């Protein structure tokens, strides 16, 4: 049975990876929308994290692909909060600029924090699925930048990110 699943995954890798993100997003999204209880009961939240983490971990993937999948699927929590609009989850904005800033901050927070929480389950699952920690080697061709290139990226990227987030600069 396990060999059949692994051979299907090898033949249809991209749909398997994307489908896992969609399924994990649904696992995180539906109970938040379906239950009128706010905040969500801890057993339901723990079950969501376990199921979504296992779904994301069951794939032949490097740690970089896994991180991207964790980030993308954890954004479903942000979508659920935006869709429910409950008083317990105030996510309101006062204007277009404020909405963009709020969206960026919320996406960064939920993407990274949710990815860390789901990673507690997904990383060991991926290591077991791929026959050990060596299967988690990065897959994407990351550019080999020199120290000065990273410095230029940080010096240019920091003010741009600050402008997007509305951080006031002393002038």
Structure confidence by residue, pLDDT tens digits, 113-171: 889 999 999 999 999 988 788 888 888 777 787 888 888 888 888 887 777 777 666 55
Q: Which two tokens stand for residue 156?
A: 């240019």
Domain ranges within the chain, ordered by starting residue? 2-142
Q: Which two tokens stand for residue 142?
A: 């990351």
What sign for the dihedral angle of Cα 87, 90, 94, 100? negative
Cα-Cα end-to-end distance for the chain: 65
For residues 65 and 140, the answer to whether their CB atoms sit within 8 Å is yes
Give DSSP secondary structure letters for 84-97. Answer: H--TTS----SSHH
Structure confidence by residue, pLDDT tens digits, 65-106: 899 999 999 888 777 777 666 565 566 667 777 777 777 777
At 90 the pLDDT is: 61
Structure confidence by residue, pLDDT tens digits, 6-64: 777 777 778 888 888 999 989 988 887 777 666 778 888 899 999 999 999 988 888 88
At 46 the pLDDT is: 92
At 163 the pLDDT is: 74
């Amino acid at each position: 049975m396990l060999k059949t699943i692994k051979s299907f995954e090898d033949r249809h890798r991209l749909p398997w990876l994307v489908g896992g993100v969609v399924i994990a997003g649904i696992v995180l999204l539906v109970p938040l929308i379906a239950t009128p209880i706010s905040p969500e009961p801890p057993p339901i939240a723990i079950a969501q994290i376990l199921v979504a983490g296992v779904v994301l971990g069951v794939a032949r993937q490097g740690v970089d692909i896994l991180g991207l999948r964790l980030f993308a699927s954890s954004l479903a929590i942000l979508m659920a909060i935006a869709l429910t609009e409950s008083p317990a989850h105030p996510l309101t904005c006062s204007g277009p600029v404020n909405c963009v800033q709020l969206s960026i901050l919320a996406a960064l927070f939920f993407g990274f924090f949710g990815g860390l929480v789901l990673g507690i389950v997904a990383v060991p699952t991926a290591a077991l699925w791929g026959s050990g920690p060596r299967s988690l080697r990065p897959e994407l061709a990351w550019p080999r930048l020199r120290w000065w290139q990273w410095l230029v990226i940080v010096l240019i990227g920091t003010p741009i990110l600050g402008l997007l987030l509305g951080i006031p600069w002393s002038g």
